[in-house]
Amino acid sequence: MSRIGKKPVVIPDGVTATVEGQTVKAKGPKGELAFVVNDEVLVKLEDTGVKVDPRDQSKVARSKWGMSRTMIENIFAGVKTGFEKKLEINGVGYRAAMQGKNLQLSLGFSHEVVYKTPEGIAIAVPKPTEIIVTGIDKQQVGQVAAEIREYRGPEPYKGKGVKYAGEKIVRKEGKKK
C-alpha cells in the first residue's frame, strides 16, 4: 500500500481544480498547469480534494499510484506559489549576468556561455556568483538548473564550478611530493 497515495490531495486556497477523465487541471494566481494521469490509476474530484486510487492491485498500478498523487500535489503547489532553485558559482573569474532574456556565463572557457531562457522560466542574477531559477513547473525548473550546472559542474579538488545552493562537494586531497 502506498502511504503517500492513500491521502487525498488537498486543493489550496486560491486554486481551482478540475478532473476530466485522466487529466487534472489546476488554475491559480501563478498560472495554469495540467497533468495526465496514467491509465493504471483512477482520479476523482471530491469535496476534500483530489483522490487517487489504483485500478487494481497489480505491481504496475501500485507503483504509479503514489507518483501520480505527488505530481498532482506539485501542480497545485506550482500554480499557488511556484518553485525555485538556487545555484552558486565558485571560482576566480567565474560569473553570471543576464543579457536580455539570456543568461551569460563566464566559466573559464575561451568563450562566454549563453543560455537561452525557456518559456515559463524566469532566471534572476542578484549577485554575479548567484543564479535563481523560478517557475511553476517543478520538473522544468529542476531541468533548467541541471542544464546550467552541467556547463561546469563542481570539481573535487578546488570546488570550482556551478553547484546547487547547499550542495556539499566532497573534496579530494591533491597529489603529494
44-64, pLDDT tens digit by residue?
988 888 999 998 888 888 889
**Which pLDDT does position 72 carry in this prediction?**
93
Predicted confidence at residue 29, as pLDDT, reads 93
CATH, domain range 83-164: 3.90.930.12
d(CA 106, CA 113): 6
Q: Are 3-80 and 83-164 the same fold in CATH?
A: yes
Query: Model pTM?
Result: 0.88
The domain segmentation of the chain, as residue ranges, is: 3-80, 83-164
pLDDT score of 2 more than 90: no
pLDDT tens digits, 63-81 = 899 899 999 999 999 999 9
Per-residue pLDDT band at 174 (split at 50, 70, 90)? confident
Average pLDDT of the residues in 149-175: 93
User: What does CATH list as the number for 3-80?
Assistant: 3.90.930.12
Give the type of residue at 7.
K
Query: What does pLDDT average to over the chain?
Result: 92
Q: What's the start-to-end Cα distance of the chain, in Å?
A: 58
CA distance 3 to 131: 36
- If one counts every other C-beta atom within 10 angstroms of the C-beta of residue 96, the result is 22
